[in-house]
Amino acid sequence: MQYPRFLELSNLLLVFTYLIIVIIVVFIISKNFIKDKKNKDIFFKAFLFKIIMGLGFALVYEYIYDWNGDSYYYYKNSSALSDVFFVDTSSYFKMFFNTIDQSNYFSLPSYLPYYPRLYDRGIYAIHRFLSVFAIIGFKNYYLMSIILNSFLFIINWKFFRFLCLIFPDKFKIFAITILLFPSVTFWGSGLTKDGFTLSFCFVFIMCFYKLFLQLKFKVKHILLLLLSFYVLRELKPYILYSVLISCMVWIALHYSKKIKNIVIKYLFFPIIIVVFGISGFFILQKTASNVGGAYSSVNAMLTKASAAQYDLKQEYYQGSSFDIGDLEPNMKSAIDILPAAIIAGIFRPFLWEARSVTVLISGLENFILLLIALYIIYLSFKKSFIHLFRIIFRNPFLIFCIFFSIIMAVGIGISTSNFGALVRFKIPFFPFFAIFLLFLCSELKEQKVNKRTKSKV
């Protein structure tokens, strides 16, 4: 099959022109609208990093993988859907807003270049979302990448600023984990589901915090929460389930922390946990039944996970598979491989398991985070683990981070047995796991320095 080349001379000039215009606009914004020097520097650098990673992703897929993967088919089908916009605009908007189902499928004209993929909600959704960027980017993969990553960067930047406002002294930690994490930025910058799920996970968390923890009931927060809920539900429902459960834990701990009286706190804490636990279960159950299919129940998800794990172990993945044990579609089997799944989801691939540059970069990141985790354990042994838990429970956001990370790691670890897929599927939770470790390390080191200073005085 002959795949297109997007960097021939005429296209190259167009891509270069788009790139220069976008960089100039961002430079003007950073110079004139961002007052703080620290934010100004990181804004421009992080934007360039995001765009470079997006173009790098495209180059890798075009010249190394020869368009072998989901990204090209997402591009091809979203481009076909964008053609519908010019052929029959009303049909385009019917598909874009997902108003076509089995009952009215055959009401669409017979001459359209694209028809809804009703057999797979996630695939149909990514075609719809990317079609907007195909229209603006003239169906050129590189132009679409530049425009999409400019849009996603705005979301990521908003989330970075949101965290910095809550924890002003953790600027560097958030800059690294949200804006400059190599593997997360690389895999989150292609024409795939991953960039959307990562950024809209950020939107969900921001709006949840503002609505239910800060109690700022603004229309824009409600609309953005619903939009992010919808995007996650359409693309990868398991991420929505994970973030919903974790947010319910966060809100329960947040309000229990506000109770100052120790006796009342310990009396009401179980009640708060039960209330928010039941509420979370009810919301989750309603969401799952609405999603339906392979994500409608725990058993359905285990069946899907078992099938995915089996597929990713096959020989056609060319030695990039790994094995933590076979998963049968039942809870006992899932529990049996749970510890190995958590380790795989968080810390694999190990350095020696890398068979490609992209997996090697992820392996290096995993190795660094493993060293940081061991360093935290070492410091806790020297002081006490009680002190470590005090730091964690003093901040409900840290509990959210580790809770979300573990839930996601379990789901990914038990269902994924291929390193190429693993490094991509990890990106929604990986920044939060890194925040958890770096935050703890920073707090422990800071307290160590303060103790030395006091002893000198």
pLDDT digits (tens, 9 = 90+) for 89-123: 999 999 999 999 888 999 999 999 999 998 888 99
Beta bridge partners of 418: 321
pLDDT band at 453 (very low <50, low <70, confident <90, very high): low
More confident site: 293 or 44 = 44
DSSP assigned state of 168: G
Compute the mean pLDDT over every residue in the chain, rounded to the nearest whole number: 83
Distance set, CA 340 to CA 86, 321, 324, 363 (Å): 51, 15, 6, 17
% the chain with pLDDT above 70: 78
Beta bridge partners of 183: none
Q: What does the alpha-carbon distance between residue 401 and residue 432 come to, in Å, rounded to a whole number?
A: 5
Answer for the pair 50, 26: CB distance below 8 angstroms, yes or no. Answer: no
Q: 262 pLDDT exceeds 80?
A: no
Q: 296 pLDDT exceeds 60?
A: no
Q: Which of 396-417 are b and which e, b meaning 16 or more Cβ less than 10 Å from the residue's Cβ? A: bbbbbbbbbbbbbbbbbbbbbb
Closest CA to 379 of 367, 391, 368, 363: 391
| CA geometry: angle 165, 166, 168, nearest 5 deg | 60
The secondary structure of 99-117 as a DSSP string is ---TTTGGGS-TT-S----
Tell me, what amino acid is at 309?
Answer: Q
More confident site: 326 or 138 = 138
Answer for the pair 192, 224: CB distance below 8 angstroms, yes or no. Answer: no
Name 318's Cβ contacts closer than 8 Å, sequence gap at least 6: none
Mean pLDDT calculated for residue range 420-445: 89
In tens, the pLDDT along 21-58 reads: 999 988 888 888 888 888 888 999 999 999 999 999 99
Q: 277 pLDDT exceeds 60?
A: no
pLDDT band at 224 (very low <50, low <70, confident <90, very high): very high
Q: 19 pLDDT exceeds 70?
A: yes
The secondary structure of 253-299 as a DSSP string is HHHHHT---HHHHHHHHHHHHHHHHHHHHHHHHHHHHHH-GGGSSHH
Mean pLDDT calculated for residue range 5-22: 81
pLDDT (0 to 100) of residue 295: 47
Q: 276 pLDDT exceeds 60?
A: no
Phi, psi of 150 (to 5 degrees): -65, -45
Query: Hey, what are 397's tokens?
Result: 């956001």
| CA geometry: angle 219, 224, 225, nearest 5 deg | 100
DSSP assigned state of 178: I
Q: 328 pLDDT exceeds 80?
A: no
pLDDT (0 to 100) of residue 454: 54
Q: 316 pLDDT exceeds 50?
A: no
More confident site: 357 or 287 = 357
pLDDT (0 to 100) of residue 177: 95
Phi, psi of 321 (to 5 degrees): -85, 160
Query: Hey, what are 258's tokens?
Result: 């506000």
Q: Which residue spans within 136-275 are E strands per DSSP?
A: none
Tell me, what amino acid is at 37?
Answer: K
Q: 390 pLDDT exceeds 70?
A: yes
pLDDT (0 to 100) of residue 318: 52
Q: 275 pLDDT exceeds 50?
A: yes
Q: 184 pLDDT exceeds 80?
A: yes
Domain limits of the chain?
A: 9-191, 322-457
pLDDT band at 313 (very low <50, low <70, confident <90, very high): low
Query: Hey, what are 381's tokens?
Result: 């042994």
Mean pLDDT calculated for residue range 61-85: 89
DSSP assigned state of 246: H
Q: 284 pLDDT exceeds 70?
A: no
